[in-house]
């Protein structure tokens, strides 16, 4: 047990970002004051998060190893297969870290004393001792949440917990040929969103409600996805018969890019995007890996 490692994940606070930009508290305070704001509320939120992080850290057994990583550094952090990952932050931070994991247990901690509790970050900071022990003993507690995987024919790949987007970087017209549900259609649209059951409470739900769709969205544990074409329009070049559907395990959505340049990203992280160009093929399917949420 002495070799067990816990990795604590958090994101920089607004206070941290102000100091990084303005170098000192005094300069940051002057900047805010010139715009009619002050540092009090920002410092209070920063201090609150530091207290939560300290409370969580105190509950980690003394003979366990520890690691700490901020959201901005996730892409370069080396997780090991035996890590237990404790995420202190809102649901979006759990989604951000999920793409970098391969089956490690994740404990989501609500940093807001109930005010920020979500479906992923739902545990109070003072109640994770038993969860850590259960995760370390691999007692089978928790749930397995389906993820979505996007692959490009040149080997590029991304995995996301909520959804992936494929389209123009500035959400202008995207042109491609779509193959799904045994059909083929050339389309011009604002891009395609493919989501999981976890993502069905977010972007996919918004798209579903907007178009009054009768399609049943998947549940978080379902090995299934839902996909929607955004703002497709008919033209002499394109049609709009194939704009939504479900995708079961073992099936895939296939797109052949006909725009000069499109991008793909997951869970709203546009900075961590793939670039695809005319003639390339993109496949979207249920990911082989899952999020192991404690």
Task: Write out pLDDT tens, residues 172-184.
Answer: 899 999 999 899 9
Amino acid 116: pLDDT: 55
pLDDT at position 225 over 70? yes
Instruction: Pick 33 or 217 by higher pLDDT.
Output: 217
Percent of the chain with pLDDT strictly greater than 70? 97
Question: Mean pLDDT throughout 13-30?
Answer: 90
| SS3 label, residue 227 | strand
Amino acid 106: pLDDT: 96
Mean of per-residue pLDDT scores for the chain? 92
pLDDT at position 23 over 80? yes
Instruction: Pick 252 or 138 by higher pLDDT.
Output: 252
Rounded Cα gap, residues 213 and 108, in angstroms = 32
Which tokens is 290 given? 């899952």
Q: Are 146 and 218 in contact (CB under 8 A)?
A: yes
| SS3 label, residue 205 | helix
| SS3 label, residue 145 | strand
pLDDT at position 1 over 60? no
Q: What is the model's pTM?
A: 0.86
Which tokens is 7 given? 């990795």
CB contact burial 66-88 (16+ within 10 A = b; e otherwise): eeebebeebeeeebeeebbbbbb
Radius of gyration of the chain (CA): 21
Cβ atoms within 10 Å, residue 101: 22
Amino acid 60: pLDDT: 93
pLDDT at position 171 over 90? no
Phi, psi of 244 (to 5 degrees): -160, 160
Name the band, by pLDDT with cuts 50, 70 and 90, for residue 115. Answer: low
pLDDT at position 114 over 70? no
Contacts of 184 (CB under 8 A, 6+ apart): 177, 178
pLDDT at position 186 over 90? yes
Question: Mean pLDDT throughout 208-218?
Answer: 94
Could you tell me the domains of the chain? Answer: 5-141 (3.40.50), 146-289 (2.60.200.30)
Amino acid 117: pLDDT: 58
Q: Which DSSP category does 249 fall into?
A: T
Rounded Cα gap, residues 246 and 213, in angstroms = 12
Phi, psi of 148 (to 5 degrees): -115, 145
Phi, psi of 16 (to 5 degrees): -60, -45
Rounded Cα gap, residues 252 and 255, in angstroms = 10
- The CB-side HSE value for 241 (13 A sphere, CA atoms) comes to 10
CA angle 98, 150, 215 (to 5 degrees): 90
């Amino acid at each position: 047990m002495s070799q067990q490692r816990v990795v604590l994940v958090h994101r920089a606070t607004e206070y941290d970002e102000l100091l990084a930009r303005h170098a000192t508290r005094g300069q940051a305070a002057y900047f805010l004051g010139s715009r009619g704001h002050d540092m009090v509320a920002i410092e209070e939120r920063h201090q609150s998060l530091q207290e939560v992080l300290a409370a969580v850290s105190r509950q980690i057994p003394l003979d366990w190893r520890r690691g700490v990583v901020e959201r901005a550094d996730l892409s370069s952090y080396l997780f090991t297969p035996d890590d237990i990952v404790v995420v202190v932050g809102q649901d979006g931070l759990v989604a951000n870290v999920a793409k970098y994991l391969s089956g490690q247990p994740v404990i989501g901690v609500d940093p807001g004393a109930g005010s920020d509790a979500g479906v992923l970050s739902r545990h109070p900071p003072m109640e994770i001792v038993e969860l850590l022990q259960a995760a370390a003993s691999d007692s089978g507690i928790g749930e397995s949440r389906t993820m979505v995987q996007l692959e490009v024919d040149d080997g590029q790949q991304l995995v996301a917990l909520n959804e992936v987007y494929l389209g123009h970087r500035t959400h202008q017209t995207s042109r491609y040929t779509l193959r799904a549900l045994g059909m083929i259609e050339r389309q011009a649209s604002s891009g395609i969103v493919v989501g999981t059951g976890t993502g069905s409470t977010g972007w996919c739900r918004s798209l579903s409600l907007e178009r009054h769709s009768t399609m049943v969205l998947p549940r978080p544990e379902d090995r299934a996805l839902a996909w929607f074409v955004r703002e497709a329009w008919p033209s002499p070049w394109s049609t709009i018969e194939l704009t939504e559907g479900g995708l079961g395990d073992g099936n895939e959505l296939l797109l052949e890019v006909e725009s000069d340049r499109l991008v793909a990203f997951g869970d709203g992280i546009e900075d961590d995007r793939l670039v695809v160009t005319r003639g390339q093929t993109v496949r979207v399917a249920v990911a082989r890996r899952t999020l192991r949420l404690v």
